[in-house]
C-alpha cells in the first residue's frame, strides 16, 4: 500500500509564524480564487484579507503563490499572490508546454487576473520570473502597475548568472519518495531551515498514485531534451526606460543572487529615480531568506 502524506494547504501558517517569530492567534484570512483568463484556462491565486487588495505578488519560476506566505503574514495587508501560468494551481501557459518563459503571454494572463481580483492595487511585486512578467505587464497594461518592485531580478539576468538555480529547476522530473525530494532541496538551499523547505515542497509538489513525487511546474514542461526559446530580455530594458511610476529593486547580496553591480548600474541609467535596497542575509529568494526585511521594505515603499 502506498503511504500518502497528508497536505492541508491552509494548515501550515503556524509554522511560518513560529519560524520567524510572528504573533499567531489562529489562521489568517486567506482563500483561493480562480480567474478565467481565456476559454478553458484559468489562473489561481491566494487572496489575503477581506478588503480590497493593496498589493499583487508574483513568484519566480518553479515556485508558487505560497512562497509569499511569511511576507504576507508579516505585512498584514490585503493582497493577492498569483500562481503564474503553469505553476501552482494555475492552468498551463497559453503558449503550450514550455510557455512559462513566454513573458508576453504570462503578462496578458496576469493582467486579466489582476483586473478580476485587484484592479486598484497600489503596487505589483515580482520576484525573478515574476519580476520579468511584471515589467512586461507595464508594457501590456500600464494602468495596473502603480508602483513596481523587482525582487532580485533585472533584464540583465543571463544563463550564467542563473546557472545554479536552473540546474536545480531542471533536475529530475520525479522522485521516488518525499525524503528524496527533500534531500535534493536541502542540498541546493543550504541557508534555509529544513522545516521551511519541507513546507515549500508540500506547497509545490504533488504525490502521484504510485507514491512518487513530481514538482507542480513539471506538469507543463517541454519533453526531456527539448529546450525552450529564451525570451528577449532587451525589450524589457526598453520598457523600464519609459516607466513613469516609482520603482524599487530589492537585491539579495549572498552569492545565490542573480543581480550584480552592472545590472544595478544599468537600472539606474534607465530609471534614475529607482530605489535600490540591498538585503545582506538573502540570496536570490529574498522572500524565503529574509521575509521580514522584505515585508518592511514593501511597507515603506507602498503607502
Domain that holds residue 272: 13-301
Q: What is the pLDDT of residue 99?
A: 57
Can you tell me which residue has the cell 520603482? Answer: 247
Q: Is 128 a catalytic residue?
A: yes
Q: How high does pLDDT run on average in the chain?
A: 94
Residue 72: pLDDT over 70 = yes
The answer to the question of residue 33 being in a domain is yes
Tell me the three cell numbers of residue 290: 529574509
Dist CA 78 CA 49 (whole Å): 5
Q: What is the pLDDT of residue 234?
A: 86
> What's the CATH code of the domain at 68?
3.40.50.1820
Q: Is residue 5 part of a domain?
A: no
Is 238 part of any domain? yes
- Within a domain: residue 266? yes
Which pLDDT does position 94 carry in this prediction?
86
Predicted pLDDT at 101: 65
Rounded CA-CA distance 186/198 in Å is 9
| pLDDT of 56 strictly over 90 | yes
Give every CB contact of residue 227 below 8 A, 6+ residues apart in sequence.
none
Q: Please give the Cα distance from 167 to 43 (Å, whole number).
A: 27
- Bridge partner residues of 84 (DSSP): none
Catalytic residue (choose from 42, 44, 90, 128)? 128
Please say if the pLDDT value at position 227 is more than 60.
Answer: no
Calpha distance 54→196 (Å, rounded): 26
Residue 117: predicted pLDDT:
98
290 half-sphere exposure, CB direction, 13 A CA radius: 21
- pLDDT confidence tier of residue 102, bands split at 50, 70 and 90: confident
Task: Residue count of the chain, please give it.
Answer: 303
Please report the pLDDT score of residue 129 as a whole number: 95
pLDDT digits (tens, 9 = 90+) for 1-10: 778 899 999 9
Q: What pLDDT score does 154 carry? A: 98
Q: Count the domains in the chain.
A: 1
pLDDT at 115 over 80: yes
Rounded Cα distance, 256 and 173, in Å: 23
Annotation marks residue 69 as catalytic:
no
| Residue 152 among the catalytic residues | yes
Model confidence at 223, pLDDT cuts 50, 70, 90, reads: low
Opening angle at CA 64, ends 61 and 68, nearest 5? 110
Number of other residues whose CB lies within 10 A of the CB of residue 178: 18
Catalytic residue among 44, 87, 284, 285: 284
Residue 240 CA to its chain's centroid (Å): 20
Residues in contact with 237: Cβ distance below 8 Å, sequence separation at least 6, in sequence order: 155, 156, 266, 270
Is pLDDT above 60 for 100?
no
Asked whether residue 6 is assigned to any structural domain, the reply reads no
- Confidence (pLDDT) at 7: 93
* DSSP labels, 104-169: HHHHHHHHHHHHHH-TT-SEEEEETHHHHHHHHHHHH-GGG-SSEEEES--TT--TTTTHHHHHHH
CB 231 within 8 A of CB 103: yes
For residue 3, what pLDDT is reported?
Answer: 83
Contact of 87 with 63, CB cutoff 8 Å: yes
User: Region 72-79: what's the mean pLDDT?
Assistant: 98
**Which has the higher per-residue pLDDT, 108 or 219?**
108
Tell me how far apart the alpha carbons of residues 34 and 42 are, in angstroms, rounded to a whole number. 6
pLDDT tens-place string over residues 123-176: 999 999 999 999 999 999 999 999 999 999 999 999 899 998 888 888 888 999
The residue annotated as part of the active site, out of 69, 91, 152, 263, is 152
Strand residues in 226-283 grouped as ranges (E): 247-252, 275-279
Cα–Cα distance between 175 and 217 in angstroms, integer? 14
Residue 22 located in a structural domain: yes
State the pLDDT at residue 88.
Answer: 97
Quick check: 37 pLDDT over 70?
A: yes
Please measure the distance between the N-terminal and C-terminal CA atoms of the chain and give it in whole angstroms: 54
Q: For the chain, what percent of residues have pLDDT higher than 70?
A: 95
**Unique residue bearing C-alpha cell 502521484:** 208
Residue 87 Cα distances to 59, 190, 202, 218, angstroms = 9, 24, 14, 8
Does 1 map to a domain?
A: no
Q: 295 vs 218, which has greater pLDDT?
A: 295
Q: pTM score, two decimals? A: 0.95
Fill in the DSSP letter of residue 185: H
Q: CA–CA separation, 171 vs 173, rounded Å?
A: 6
Residues 40/258, Cβ–Cβ less than 8 Å: no
Question: Is residue 2 situated within a structural domain?
Answer: no
The pLDDT, as a whole number, for residue 226 is 58
- Determine the average pLDDT of the residues in 51-79: 98
Q: Which of 62, 75, 215 is nearest to 130 (CA)?
A: 62
Amino acid at each position: 500500500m502506498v503511504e500518502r502524506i497528508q497536505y492541508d494547504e491552509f494548515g501550515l501558517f503556524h509554522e511560518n509564524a513560529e519560524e520567524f517569530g510572528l504573533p499567531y492567534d489562529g489562521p489568517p484570512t486567506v482563500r483561493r480564487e480562480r480567474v478565467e483568463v481565456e476559454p478553458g484556462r484559468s489562473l489561481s491565486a491566494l487572496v489575503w484579507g477581506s478588503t480590497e487588495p493593496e498589493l499583487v505578488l508574483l513568484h519566480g519560476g518553479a515556485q508558487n503563490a505560497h512562497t509569499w506566505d511569511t511576507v504576507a503574514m508579516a505585512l498584514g495587508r490585503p493582497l493577492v499572490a498569483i500562481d503564474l501560468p503553469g505553476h501552482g494551481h494555475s492552468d498551463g501557459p497559453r503558449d503550450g508546454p514550455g510557455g512559462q518563459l513566454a513573458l508576453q503571454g504570462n503578462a496578458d494572463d496576469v493582467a486579466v487576473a489582476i483586473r478580476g481580483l485587484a484592479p486598484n492595487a497600489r503596487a505589483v511585486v515580482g520576484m525573478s520570473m515574476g519580476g520579468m512578467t511584471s515589467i512586461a505587464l507595464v508594457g501590456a497594461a500600464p494602468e495596473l502597475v502603480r508602483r513596481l518592485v523587482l525582487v532580485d531580478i533585472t533584464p540583465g539576468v543571463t544563463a550564467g548568472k542563473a546557472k545554479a538555480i536552473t540546474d536545480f529547476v531542471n533536475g529530475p522530473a520525479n522522485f521516488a519518495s518525499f525524503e528524496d525530494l527533500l534531500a535534493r532541496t536541502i542540498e541546493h538551499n543550504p541557508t534555509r531551515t529544513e522545516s521551511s523547505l519541507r513546507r515549500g515542497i508540500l506547497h509545490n509538489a504533488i504525490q502521484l498514485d504510485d507514491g512518487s513525487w513530481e514538482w507542480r511546474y513539471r506538469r507543463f514542461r517541454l519533453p526531456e531534451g527539448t529546450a525552450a526559446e529564451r525570451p528577449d530580455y532587451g525589450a524589457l530594458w526598453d520598457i523600464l526606460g519609459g516607466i513613469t511610476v516609482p520603482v524599487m529593486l530589492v537585491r539579495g547580496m549572498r552569492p545565490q543572487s542573480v543581480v550584480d553591480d552592472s545590472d544595478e548600474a544599468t537600472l539606474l541609467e534607465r530609471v534614475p529615480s529607482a530605489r535600490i535596497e540591498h538585503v545582506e542575509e538573502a540570496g536570490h529568494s529574498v522572500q524565503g531568506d529574509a521575509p521580514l526585511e522584505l515585508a518592511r521594505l514593501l511597507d515603506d515603499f507602498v503607502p
